[in-house]
Amino acid sequence: MSAQLPDIKTNFAEWYNEVIYQTELIDMSPTRGCFVFRPYGFAIWENIQKELDKKIKGLGAQNAYFPLLIPDSFLRKEQKHIEGFSPELAVVTHGGGKELEEKLVVRPTSETIIYHMFARWITSWRDLPLKVNQWANVVRWEMRTRPFVRSLEFLWQEGHTAHATHQEALDMTLAALNVYKDIYENLLAVPVIPGQKTPHERFAGAERTYTIESLMQDGKALQMCTSHLLDHSFPASFDIAFQATDGTQQVPYCTSWGFTTRSIGGLIMMHGDQTGLVMPPRIAPIQAVIVPIFKTDEERALVCEEADKIQKELQTHGFSVTVDNDASRTPGAKFYHWEMRGVPVRIELGPRDLQNDQVVFVNRIEQDKAKKKTFIKKELVATMLKTLLDAIHDTMFQAASARMKANWFQADNLADFGKTMADTGGLFQTGWCGDEACELKAKEYQGSIRCVYPEKKHATCFVCGKPSPSDVLVAKAY
């Protein structure tokens, strides 16, 4: 049996670190800041990837792959881009035992190499829109790392598109953001907040950066993913041009957008409890575990045979189900093992259940132990499992939404809400004049503007008191 977890309410950071290692999602690697995805953790990413890939292709993008190593000169073609990424770059200077004539950068993102290729592929308006997506890894030399949330190397998808008009590119940027929102809410049961980043927080080389933010259980915000409408100068720097329908040479408008393995850290911090992980049913590597219960060898043979039959039936209906027939562990130890791993439903099966032609469903998220068990007739197992998994997803989303709402505050002055933000966290909706100097004042309380929020409730800036053209959300963040 695993060691007891730290208190999630008083020591959230230690709880997080313990739960991801004890549940075998991840392990340390010998490379500082890099982590090994163990099969259970990687299965979560595979399930997210499978669903997200369908939606990306639904946007008209096709999957491709571009080199990991990028010539240093490529990054220097767009000044804002290189300035934004230079502290985070990993650079290869030697290869084959010799110093390279040109240094190669391990990709922090792929705009530069992709737009070099776009310049070869785009010559006419007929070539537009061009939409590609890449599933890959990237390296950003982070000084302080946290598994899933921030690491030197992480996995993601990055979409890149080119369009004839600014409006088409903007529509694409927002369409990608909506796909991400749908994945978070309808797959991961994570409530999110779409908004636009301030100029200070924009992606290096973007005209606009749109973000999806959420609030974790410890009161800190987490940037979940971003979508960028790039500056028109970016494709121009890579000599991308096309002949328009009127015969003129024009530069296309480009977008880029990415969704990373940070999403796994987000769902852990959003849904976990004192027992351990709580897996959203629609991406859970194991949606249900069947635990045979027996005392004698004869009972074991009968119950395990029936458990195998139920597993195969559920698998034919598309469920991910495993059977724990390990005779070396007690039922209680098995229950604890699978609850810590967040498996949404436990199916218990004993001799009495065989006699009654039934199984027992146990709901992972039901905290009242006396009400957790539900007796299900064997012929209804598949139907009732689908119903229960959907109900668990809805309950998880509603609980997370209610928690976010309870920690979302209206505020006017940084001096009034700053200490609360620093001490206990939360989202603070307030006004902002648009001045970067006022924006940076939030750092004095460990906070930052997470996004410009479309709803307007505040007339003046949270720092200087000048008129505010729009509201912003301010919070501590990972």
In a domain, 380, yes or no: yes
Looking at the structure, do residues 380 and 436 belong to the same domain, yes or no?
Answer: no
Q: Which amino acid is at 265?
A: G
Give the residue from 151, 113, 150, 108 showing the smallest Cα distance to 132: 113
- Residue 75, pLDDT score: 84
Looking at the structure, do residues 45 and 179 belong to the same domain, yes or no?
Answer: yes
Looking at the structure, do residues 235 and 117 belong to the same domain, yes or no?
Answer: yes
Task: Out of 238, 271, 304, pick the residue that ends a domain.
Answer: 271
Looking at the structure, do residues 70 and 202 belong to the same domain, yes or no?
Answer: yes
- Residue 335, pLDDT score: 95
**CATH (domain of 68):** 3.30.930.10
Looking at the structure, do residues 120 and 201 belong to the same domain, yes or no?
Answer: yes
Residue 451 burial (10 A CB sphere; 0-12, 13-18, 19+): buried
pLDDT at residue 40 above 90? yes
In a domain, 130, yes or no: yes
Looking at the structure, do residues 307 and 356 belong to the same domain, yes or no?
Answer: yes
In a domain, 166, yes or no: yes
Number of domains in the chain: 3
Find the DSSP H helices in 322-465. Answer: 331-340, 351-356, 381-406, 414-424, 436-441
Mean pLDDT of 193-215: 96
Q: Which residue has the tokens 């620093």?
A: 422
Give the residue from 370, 280, 478, 342 showing the smallest Cα distance to 5: 342
Positive or negative, the Cα torsion across 231, 233, 236, 241? positive
> Predicted confidence band at 327 (pLDDT cuts at 50, 70, 90)?
confident
Mean pLDDT of 199-227: 96
Residue 273 burial (10 A CB sphere; 0-12, 13-18, 19+): middle
pLDDT at residue 1 above 60? no
What DSSP designation does 112 have?
H
Task: Out of 240, 271, 302, pick the residue that ends a domain.
Answer: 271
CB atoms within 10 A of CB 182: 14
**CATH (domain of 435):** 3.30.110.30
Stretch (H or E) spanning 19: helix 12-22
Structure tokens at 411: 């505020």
In a domain, 53, yes or no: yes
- Residue 370, pLDDT score: 59
In a domain, 91, yes or no: yes
Structure tokens at 54: 């369908």
CB within 8 Å of 344: residues ≥ 6 apart:
279, 281, 284, 287, 288, 363, 364, 365, 388, 389, 392
Residues 264-273: pLDDT tens digits?
999 999 999 9
Mean confidence (pLDDT) of the chain: 95
Looking at the structure, do residues 368 and 323 belong to the same domain, yes or no?
Answer: yes
Three-state secondary structure readout of 253-293: EEEEEEEECHHHHHHHHHHCECCECCCCCCCCCCCEEEEEC
Mean pLDDT of 329-344: 96
- Residue 63, pLDDT score: 98
Structure tokens at 201: 């927080």
Looking at the structure, do residues 265 and 336 belong to the same domain, yes or no?
Answer: no
Looking at the structure, do residues 124 and 261 belong to the same domain, yes or no?
Answer: yes
Looking at the structure, do residues 244 and 318 belong to the same domain, yes or no?
Answer: no
In a domain, 280, yes or no: no
Looking only at the bridges linking them, the beta strands covering 447-453 and 408-410 are unpaired
In a domain, 136, yes or no: yes
Structure tokens at 196: 């636009």
pLDDT at residue 84 above 70? no
- Residue 108, pLDDT score: 93
Three-state secondary structure call for residue 464: coil
Q: From residue 135, how far is each of 23, 54, 264 by CA, in Å?
A: 26, 13, 16
- Residue 81, pLDDT score: 63
Looking at the structure, do residues 54 and 143 belong to the same domain, yes or no?
Answer: yes
| DSSP conformation letters of 26-94 | EEE-SSTT-EEEPHHHHHHHHHHHHHHHHHHHHTT-EE----SEEEHHHHTTSHHHHHHHGGG-EEEEE
Instruction: For residue 454, give its domain range.
Output: 408-476
Residues 365-405: pLDDT tens digits?
986 665 578 999 999 999 999 999 999 999 999 999 999 99
> Predicted confidence band at 88 (pLDDT cuts at 50, 70, 90)?
confident
Looking at the structure, do residues 209 and 354 belong to the same domain, yes or no?
Answer: no
**CATH (domain of 298):** 3.40.50.800
Q: What is the distance in angstroms between the CA of the first residue and the CA of the last residue of the chain? A: 31
CA 124 – CA 114 distance, rounded (Å): 18
Q: From residue 456, how far is each of 177, 223, 405, 469 by CA, in Å?
A: 21, 21, 17, 8
Structure tokens at 229: 């409408």
Task: Out of 387, 422, 448, pick the residue that ends a domain.
Answer: 387
- Residue 80, pLDDT score: 66
- Residue 85, pLDDT score: 67
pLDDT at residue 86 above 80? no
Mean pLDDT of 280-288: 98
CB atoms within 10 A of CB 159: 22
In a domain, 396, yes or no: no
Give the residue from 343, 127, 99, 360 showing the smallest Cα distance to 235: 127
